[in-house]
Amino acid sequence: MAEAVNYAVRFEMTGISKSFGATTALKDVNLKVVAGEVCALVGQNGAGKSTLMNILSGAAQPDTGTMMLDGVSYHPRNPLEARRSGVAMIHQELSLAPDLSVEENIVLGMEPAPYGIVRRAEIRAKAEDVLRQLHHSEISPTTPAGQLSVAEQQLVEIARALAIGCRVLVLDEPTSSIARADVERLFEIIGRLKAQGHAVVYISHFIDEVKEVADRFAVLRDGRNAGGGEVRSATRKEIVEMMVGRSMEELYPRTSRSPAEAILDIAPGIALRRGEVLGIAGLVGAGRTRLLRRLFALESSWKSVGMVSEDRKGEGLAMGMTVTDNLTLPRLTGWVSPSKQSALARRWIQDLEIRCHDDRQEISELSGGNQQKVALARLLYCDVDVLLLDEPTRGIDVGSKAQIYEWIDQLVTNGKAVLIVSSYFPELIGICDRVAVMHRGQLSAPRPVSEVDEHQLMLEACSGLDDSHEHHDSR
């Protein structure tokens, strides 16, 4: 790979803070990337990586802090301004116009069009030029973008950013939805961008990839800088330790549990037993949600299985409806009596300390924590034997978290079985009896929680390896 052209500072963010309402997303964060460098931005889910990059790419404004781009003060008010100044972000969910051709997508918004008449030949030349720069001229400029594979669409997005002269490219988890072969191809492209003097910020929580593609790394934890340095001189373990940081305070109740007979087969040789909490540790995109969905779809017809979706707003709850409606939805009788419905709901609201004005309040007006309590209460109301919980505590306050942990403990003591998926490993260690790790669709055998620690889980979830294998990792 060619040596970096020069080491001028491409962009620098200093003292960036940002809060949303009462929650602080970023606090005094600094980040500096020089030209011709790939900087990996790593951190756990919710550490503030995306917020920081949204600020850089103009989608959000910082509360305090300054940004410089190539030595000039830089304060984009929206993503368009950022692109025009030379900063583009390639999001996880790709954003091409599927009905337009590749070339039209590449020049969208800057078509050569004197008197409004589009110059097709110039567009073609321009598109072919940037695709050639990326060494991917096999992509036909006339294909509708919607017909390309995800990896190819990603490539077109990068080409589009290059076409308007972007010097800073932010790639947000670019490998989460593409195959391994495409990953190699992407890394080649990143190498080329680097050689051309672009600055690349690479967001990821796969340590392997970071080691493979990045020059430097910066770690965010709970919205603050938590270290960084040269990738070459840092071990996997060191990076993970920076990501995980402190230990978690006592938040997890645990009565003595006595697991009984198996009630649900999760994978060949792995069964969930009555009276236990089984945790699945894994990062977003590892295939955890698909596993839960498959279990739910297979089993729910003949066993009493309930699921809490990770996507609370999208499918977990009916946002336009009231607390009562949401609670009683799965077990409505043919004739709905509003007063009986309310009475039932009020009982659960009281039991679970759901904070709302009354049982007819719209669920969207509740806080995230209270919404999640309603989603859980619905399962309790159905009295299911097996609970599949997908990230049940994501984005909710500590108080609600503690309550949810308490119910989970109560449930299993009463002979229910709980399968919980989470990318927040301290909670898995806190509440589970056994933990299995999922990495890229592969589920490891579950181990008793006393035999694992958080660092090890993170290491396995990030790389699929345990530490002892590190030195003969040949990839």
Partner 1 sequence: MTRMNTMTRVEKTTREFKASEEKANKWLSRSGPVLGLFLVCLIFGFLVGPQFFRTGNLELIARQTAIVAVASLGMTVVIASAGIDLSVGSVVSLSTVVIALLLRSGVPPLAAVLAAVAVGVLCGAIVGLLVTRLCLLPFIVTLGMMLVVRGAAKGLADEQRVEAPITWINNLLRSPAGTESWLLLPAGVWIIIVLSLTTGAMLEYTRFGRHIFAIGSNERTARLCGVRIDACKLAVYSIGAGFAGLAGVMQFSKLSVGDPTVAAGLELDVIAAVIIGGGSLLGGRGSVFGTLVGATIMAVIQLGSSQRGLANWVQQIVTGAIIILAVALDHWRQHAHNHLRH
Interface ranges with partner 1 (CB under 8 A):
79-80, 83-84, 95-100, 104-105, 108-111, 113, 116-118, 120, 137-138, 140, 142-144, 147, 149, 160
CB of 97 to partner 1, least distance (A): 4
Decide whether 132 or 290 has the Cβ nearer to partner 1.
132
Contact 94, 87 (CB under 8 A): no
CB of 146 to partner 1, least distance (A): 8
CB of 137 to partner 1, least distance (A): 6
Decide whether 17 or 137 has the Cβ nearer to partner 1.
137
Residues 6 or more apart whose CB falls under 8 angstroms from that of 255 comprise 409, 413
φ, ψ dihedrals at 241, nearest 5°? -60, -40
Decide whether 105 or 371 has the Cβ nearer to partner 1.
105
CB of 54 to partner 1, least distance (A): 13
Decide whether 129 or 299 has the Cβ nearer to partner 1.
129
CB of 74 to partner 1, least distance (A): 18
Contact 171, 92 (CB under 8 A): no
- Which of 360, 364, 290, 270 lies closest to 320, judged by CA? 364
Decide whether 84 or 257 has the Cβ nearer to partner 1.
84
Q: What does the DSSP 8-state code read for residue 55?
A: H
CB of 104 to partner 1, least distance (A): 6
CB of 145 to partner 1, least distance (A): 9
Cα dihedral sign for 423, 425, 430, 434? positive
- Which of 196, 180, 164 lies closest to 2, judged by CA? 196
Decide whether 120 or 355 has the Cβ nearer to partner 1.
120
- Block residue for tokens 């321009």: 126
Decide whether 88 or 239 has the Cβ nearer to partner 1.
88
Q: How far apart are CA 348 and CA 327, in angstroms?
A: 9
- Which of 182, 261, 222 lies closest to 48, judged by CA? 222
